[in-house]
Amino acid sequence: MLDPFVGAGTTVIAAAKNGRIGVGIDSDPNYLELARKRLGQLAEGALPMRPLGRPVLRPKASEKVAIIPQEWMRRFRGCK
């Protein structure tokens, strides 16, 4: 499984939990370090996870859950 924007590593962690190979790429070294740290926690059995059966958090309409990266805004300004 390839995740070209690995971020916190959730996709790669899911692959590891299910006995699959996961590859994560990110341009931000901070995200790569976070993903490595979380994979290490998974291997040690110390990764915090939402218990099965517990509802997924539903954000309120006023909460930001995603933003457009600034580099996209600069690069694609004026495109429709």
Nearest-angstrom CA–CA distance, 71 and 34: 21
Residue 23 in any domain: the answer is yes
Residue 65 in any domain: the answer is no
Residue pair 26/7 in contact (Cβ under 8 Å)? The answer is yes
Residue 37 in any domain: the answer is yes
The reported pLDDT for the residue numbered 78 is 67
Residue 16 in any domain: the answer is yes
Domain that holds residue 1: 1-49
Token pair belonging to 64: 């930001």
Residue 76 in any domain: the answer is no
Residue 41 in any domain: the answer is yes
Using the structure block, give the residue that is written with the tokens 């059995």. Answer: 45
Nearest-angstrom CA–CA distance, 38 and 42: 6
The reported pLDDT for the residue numbered 66 is 84
Residue pLDDT tens, the chain, 80 long: 999 999 999 999 999 999 999 999 999 999 999 999 999 999 999 999 999 999 998 999 898 888 888 888 877 776 65
Total domains, the chain: 1
Nearest-angstrom CA–CA distance, 31 and 54: 27
Residue pair 31/11 in contact (Cβ under 8 Å)? The answer is no
The reported pLDDT for the residue numbered 70 is 83
The reported pLDDT for the residue numbered 80 is 58
